[in-house]
Structure 1
């Protein structure tokens, strides 16, 4: 695995490597190439170092006898950030760290799979950062992000697009979706917008009035 920092532009998204299922080396390599900063959660550091990845920040609560200084000796320079707050997950604390440093966007990998509870929390928790950080969660099968009130993007015909409400979302309108939404309401646990798709090559438009709406692009 090649190191990152081929491009160091603070306008590019940072990269967080969490501790879920690993993605392909191809996807990880693409993200590393454009990431100005790479943060690894403490529970994943051994797996990350085994891939030969250059890490900027090691972050976590360092419990269970974890010795962060051991990793500073293995790779220098390495910033070590101790975040003992048990009221937040390590991923949330990594988001807080980026916000404090002035970053505006981040890609997250290894945040899905393995543990269903962790996957669910990682996806739904991005809504609390809606005004502070643009967060995209990626794996080999999906790209996941929170929609702004007005969203427009070009897709090829039949691209799979799922709309998942976090809570209750009202006033949803779409253009160029096979199953159109016309002032619709989606509610988690009752009605969601799973497995919709682009009707034709071209722009897909999705607007909503109130609530938090997550879009999942499925790559299968």
Structure 2
């Protein structure tokens, strides 16, 4: 099984971080989604697999994709799953340690929200590794109840915790500028937005609910 799977979706390229630091990762396998496949090829990255109905690429771009890739899972536009969901479920089935998703935010709000909420899919929550969405300003993960340790990152100094379920119970934050102790946080409140780590490492825990963690920079 692969250690890492990187997925590039078809979101606006100006929102995609520099892929150069990821492109040379020998432990990673790439997958492309729809127009993201074309963007990977433009950067000299050959994905192992491609997903999509490819209605967002031109005929010339589609011909280039077909000529460069062997494993293309082309789907019909009319289907129950999005192309991103198909790619993510495939990645989970490979049982890697880490899945990183790029090009999943920016552009259409419905696409961005759908991609983010995919991380709350039961298969994603039960996945034993780490799944994260990364763009130029954010790193997004979805968490089930438990205890966690996070490292201070200069690239993403701000940390926000957003309940996805109606409530998150007993949220405790230690090593943060604004600590909490066994706090009940309701969905839609802004209590846990834009916190910061004051030590090299911080810890947090909660007993029930689903929590989205967003690490950001200005």
Q: TM-score range by the shorter chain?
A: 0.7 to 0.9
Aligned position for 2:200: 202
SS in structure 1 at match of 2:19: helix
Aligned position for 1:101: 94
Root mean square deviation of aligned Cα: 2.8
- Return the TM-score normalized by structure 1: 0.82
Counterpart pick for 1:130 among 117, 125, 140: 125
Aligned position for 1:20: 11
Q: 4+ residue stretches of structure 1 with deviation over 6 A?
A: 64-69
Aligned position for 1:182: 181
Q: Matches of 1:116 and 1:191 in 2, distance apart? A: 20
Q: Matches of 2:196 and 2:174 in 1, distance apart? A: 11
Deviation at 1:136, TM superposition (A): 0.9
Deviation at 1:60, TM superposition (A): 1.6
* Aligned CA distance change for structure 1 residues 81 and 50 (closer, same or farther; 3 Å): same
Counterpart pick for 1:81 among 64, 73, 76: 73
Q: Matches of 1:88 and 1:192 in 2, distance apart? A: 34
Q: In 2, are the aligned partners of 1:83 and 1:93 still within 8 Å (CA)?
A: no
Moved more, 26-35 or 209-218: 26-35
Paired residues, number:
209
Aligned position for 1:6: none
* Aligned CA distance change for structure 1 residues 209 and 164 (closer, same or farther; 3 Å): same
Aligned position for 1:151: 148
* Aligned CA distance change for structure 1 residues 202 and 46 (closer, same or farther; 3 Å): closer
Counterpart pick for 1:38 among 13, 25, 30: 30
Q: Deviations over 1:141-177 (max 9, x none)?
A: 1111123511112316992111111122111011011
Aligned position for 1:160: 158
Q: Matches of 1:65 and 1:215 in 2, distance apart? A: 33
- Return the TM-score normalized by structure 2: 0.82
Give unmatched runs, 5+ long, in structure 1.
1-8
Counterpart pick for 2:136 among 135, 140, 151: 140
Q: Matches of 2:99 and 2:5 in 1, distance apart? A: 5
